[in-house]
Amino acid sequence: MQHAYALSDPKAASEAPPGYVRALAGGGKRYSVYVHSYLGFGLMAGRSAVLKQGETESRSAAAAAATATNGGAGEGHPCVPAVPCSATTTPTSSTASASESRKEKAGGAAAAAADPAAKAGHQARPACSLYRYGDATHDLAAAAAGSASFARCSSLARDAMSKSRPCGAPTDQCSFDGAWGGAGRPSALYVSSYFFDRAVDAGIIDENDDGRGGGATISAEVRPSDLRSAGERACSAGPRASDAAAAFPAAKVETAPFMCLDLAFQHALLTHGFGLDETKPVTIVKKVSYRGKEVEAAWPLGAALNNMAG
């Protein structure tokens, strides 16, 4: 996940920790631009981080209670209302990993893969009942019926962000995971990529109708509370994968079971990671208008900024 904005305070730019500010020129002006990549907090990696956090806290709770636990076993994961498929399905021999740089449009289907080698702590399971990202493999152990929880899932997402980690600057300038967030942060926030996708999947916005008679939606204003409402609905959708699919008909079949986790993670990013109020308007962007053309707003724009800065 990349975060970038122009710093309006020259003092903030000059006092920034090393590596966060780049000088750019455009339109006859020069800018000091905050640029930071939150590695491990894109949506695919974020799923892995939250699943791991749940496993870690489950093991800690089990150890305190002197009961055995294994990965996501026991009560299951509060972010997983239903396993995407039956655990009795015959495993396949294929493996896949998520690549955030390519922005997997399959909603995680390519990230969930069979693990016949049975890594430590995991038994051979079908592809769709595992989530794999990089070297990490997680059992998608569904929460007991009715125990999936947006509040508990959000808590795990917040814990995974390591908000209290120092950033080498005053605490009020730190964002999360030890990153400096900048002094005098912008009043307006624009988010793109998976934020837009999940808002469409959740029915928060209509991708095909901008509501103004202009055709397809290229941007829309939402609030963190919208993600919360949709996330609460996702986490309580029901114990079957088909329940999530029925609750979110706009989502792909393979994406629907992850709606609880994805929306809780995105909500936590905005409210806990970046400190936004529940009612703070946020502009979700699919494309931006530039010289009469619609240009997709995606990570390559951040890469272009990086290259322009030399």
Kindly indicate the confidence band of residue 111, based on its pLDDT and cuts at 50, 70 and 90. Answer: very low
User: Looking at the predicted structure, is the pLDDT value of residue 135 above 70?
Assistant: yes
266: left (phi over 0), alpha (psi -120 to 50) or beta: alpha
Which neighbouring-strand residues pair with 4?
A: 35
The domains of the chain are located at: 44-139
Kindly indicate the confidence band of residue 248, based on its pLDDT and cuts at 50, 70 and 90. Answer: very high
Judging by DSSP bridges, how do beta strands 287-290 and 219-222 pair with one another?
A: unpaired
The dihedral formed by the CA atoms of 124, 130, 131 and 136, expressed in degrees to the nearest 10: -20
Place of tokens 């619609």: 294
Q: What is the pLDDT of residue 64?
A: 53
17/178 Cα distance (integer angstroms) = 12
Segment 148-182, tens digit of pLDDT = 899 999 999 999 999 999 998 889 899 999 999 98
Q: What is the pLDDT of residue 298?
A: 66
- Length of the chain equals 310
CA distances from residue 255 to 111, 202, 259, 268, 310 in whole angstroms, order as listed: 11, 11, 7, 19, 38
User: Looking at the predicted structure, is the pLDDT value of residue 7 above 70?
Assistant: yes
What is the radius of gyration, based on Cα positions, of the chain?
A: 20
User: Looking at the predicted structure, is the pLDDT value of residue 6 above 80?
Assistant: yes
Q: What is the pLDDT of residue 104?
A: 42
3-state SS, one letter per residue, for the chain: CEEEEECCCHHHHHCCCCCCEEEEEECCEEEEEEEEECCCCCHHHHHHHHHHHHHHHHHHHHHHCCCCCCCCCCCCECCCCCCCCCCCCCCCCCCCCCCHHHCCCCCCCCCCCCCCCCCCCCCCCCHHHEEEECCEEEECCECCCCCCCHHHHHHHHHHHCCCCCCCCCCHHHECCCCCECCCCCCCCCEEECHHHHHHHHCCCCCCCCCCCCCCCCCEEEECHHHHHHHHHHHHCCCCCHHHHHHHCCCCCCCCHHHHHHHHHHHHHHHHHHCCCCCCCCEEEECEEEECCEEEECCHHHHHHHHHHCC
Prediction pTM value = 0.81
Mean pLDDT to the nearest integer, 119-138? 73
260: left (phi over 0), alpha (psi -120 to 50) or beta: alpha
Mean pLDDT to the nearest integer, 267-279? 95
Segment 21-49, tens digit of pLDDT = 999 887 788 999 999 999 999 999 999 99
In degrees rounded to 5, what are phi and psi of residue 46? -65, -40
Mean pLDDT to the nearest integer, 74-100? 57
Sort 220 into a burial class: Cβ within 10 Å, 0-12 / 13-18 / 19+. buried
* The one-letter amino acid at 127: A
